Homo-oligomer: A and B are copies of this chain.
Amino acid sequence: MRIESVDIFYLRMPEVLDIGDGSQDATLVRVSGGGHVGWGQCEASPLASIAAWVCPLSHSACKPVSASVLGRALDSVEDIVRIGDEVRANSLDLLQAEHMLSGVDIALWDLLGRAKGEPVWRLLGYRQAHPKLPYASVLFGDTPQETLEKAKRSRAAGFRAGKFGWGPYGKGSAAADRDQVMAAREGLGPDGVLLVDAGTIWNEDVARASERVAALREARTTWLEEPFHTGALGAYGELAKRCAPVKLAGGEGSHNFHMAQHLIDHGGIGYVQIDTGRIGGITPAKRVADYAHAKGVTYVNHTFTSQLSLCASLQPYVGIAGDEICEYPTESKAVSARLTKERLLPGADGLIRVPDTPGLGMTPDPAVIREFLVDAEIRVAGKTLYRTPSI
């Protein structure tokens, strides 16, 4: 089949707040070809991504993403790989391209899977989809007491794993941080999987991060996430040597395979966290999963938005039995939470399973799209390059 049309939908909540919640808007991609429709989502600024799709040619290595997608043949996995390579070459100097490509790549996998009657994970070469242990992401409370209660609620809601992050963590003294981490451990119970997210709070300061290691060990923390900026490989590598058996986790900001590879090769991380909505889609995410597996590093999805994104983000590593943990969005805003009718809910054993249906098996609800759709228009030199598509 040919890729006949691609539509990008900008969805958002009636009010978007200045808080660390990426589920307040959505960049949704619909790809049509051969009588089938595939869906994907970018974890990215909707307007900037739309601009990356429609922007006029600047030069041979700064083309709009659309130039390497529309009209292309799509009959095999190799076609998806080729399209991604073409986008990266033709849009080399268009920085936003990899975020825009992410939603397109996901939609292409969905489309190909639907056309072939196969789930995406099988197209990726996996023979089996293993269940994953979801962790609930929670902000640290303002006080250890609040954190304790949050951890207890999370456990009561059925989550055996919990990630605590941001809030006051890392901003005050190491002693205050110890109280927070120990409260989280107490609330999760002795057998809970405790994950801590520092939200790049220490920038590149290895000494300040190191002061927290003893408490993280004491609380039997599985990973310390993003102590530093993604690019601070030296700081990552240094801290990694000092914090065993606690492992470092990072990589959500990776917008291509190489960035994740550098964290594995030079940052000493034990967990690589990939957002398929940012790294360029399922294709480069699978490459990271393979690379991580070969290097003894555990792959984890990064997902904070819809169930469509969640399902897409699990595909690259759902066939790796040993990579057990998955991020599971629990507090998404309506535009994300209600996007698809299908939901990946924890089973009786508390585990998450991806569908066995063709493609991703998740279809955005047209009524929900219409409810949250934002009217947008881009005009250049008298020509309308983008107008909100109809649904």
Contact = CB atoms under 8 A, between A and B. Distances in A.
Nearest to A90: B18
B380 A379 contact: no
A45 interface: yes
A22 B57 contact: no
A205 to B, nearest CB: 14
A16 B93 contact: no
A331 interface: no
Interface residues on A, range: 35 or more
Given A258-B233, A376-B380, A379-B376, A54 B47 contact: yes
Given A60-B19, A231-B256, A44 B95 contact: yes
A234 interface: yes
A50 interface: yes
Give this chain's copy count: 2
A251 to B, nearest CB: 14
Contacts of A152: none
A202 interface: no
Contact of A55 (B47, B265, B380): B47
Among A57, A61, A96, A381: residue with most chain B CB under 10 A: A96
Given A265-B266, A377-B377, A378-B378, 5 more contacts: A44-B95, A45-B52, A95-B99, A262-B266, A375-B380
